[in-house]
Structure 1
Amino acid sequence: MTSPLSPDLRRRLVRAVEAGSSAREAARRFEVSASAAIKLMQRVRQTGSAAPARIGGYRKPLLDGHEALLRELTSAKRSITLAELRDTLRQRGIEVGSLSTIWATLRRLGLSHKKTRPAKLADLVR
C-alpha cells in the first residue's frame, strides 16, 4: 500500500504550480509521478488544502446486531462448530459469506466454540 507524499513535498509542489509551473513540470522537478502532482492540485482546487485524504476506514462488522443470537447459540450448545453456526444463521435469514466472518465476530465478542472433527476422521487419527 502506498503512503501519502510528505506535507513538505506537498507544499513545495503546490508552491511550484502556483508560481506558474505546470503540474507535470513540478512532478519532474520534485521526482514524483505526474498523476500524484495532478491529483494533488485537483485536491487543492476542490478543498483548498494539500493535506492527504484519509486512507482506509471503518467497516461495520457483517454480523453487527446479531451478537445476542450468537451468544445464545454458543451458550446453548458448547460444542457448536462454525459450520453449524453458519447453517443456523442461514435458517434465520442471515447470510454469512464465510466461516471466518463468524470466527472474527466470536473472537471480538470473547466467545469460544469447539472445533470437532467428524467421527470418521477422529477414528482414523487414533
Structure 2
Amino acid sequence: MGASLFAIALGGALGALSRYGIGQWVMQAWPKAFPLATFAVNLIGCLIIGILYGLWSSRPEFSPMLRQGLFVGFLGAFTTFSTFSLDALRLMENGEGLMALAYILLSVCVCLLATWAGLSLVR
C-alpha cells in the first residue's frame, strides 16, 4: 500500500507540473481567447491514456504500481478528462452505447451546472 501511494503521489506531482508547464508554454506561444492550453492538455492526456490502456490490455504483466502511478497519479493530476474519455469509451466497447451517451451528456451538462452553481454561491 505504501509503495502504491508513493507511486500515485510521485505521478501526481509530475502530472501537475507537466500540466502547468504545457499550459504556460501554450499560453505564451498562442495567447488567444480560446482555452487552447486546457484543450491541449486534455488532448495529450486522452492520447496518453489510450496508449497506456492499450498497452496494459495486451501486456497484463506490466506493474500494477506503475499503472496506478501513471493512470491515477500522473494522468489524474494532468487531466481528469482523459479518465472521463476512457470511461465513456469502455462503456461503448462493452455495447453500452446508450449508457455511454447518458454518461457523456450528464457529465458535461451536470458538471457545467455544478460549476455555475458553485460560482453563483460565492458571487
TM-score with structure 1 length normalisation?
0.26
Greater Cα radius of gyration, structure 1 or 2 = 1
Greater percentage in helix: 2
Larger RCO (alpha carbons 8 Å, 6+ apart): 2
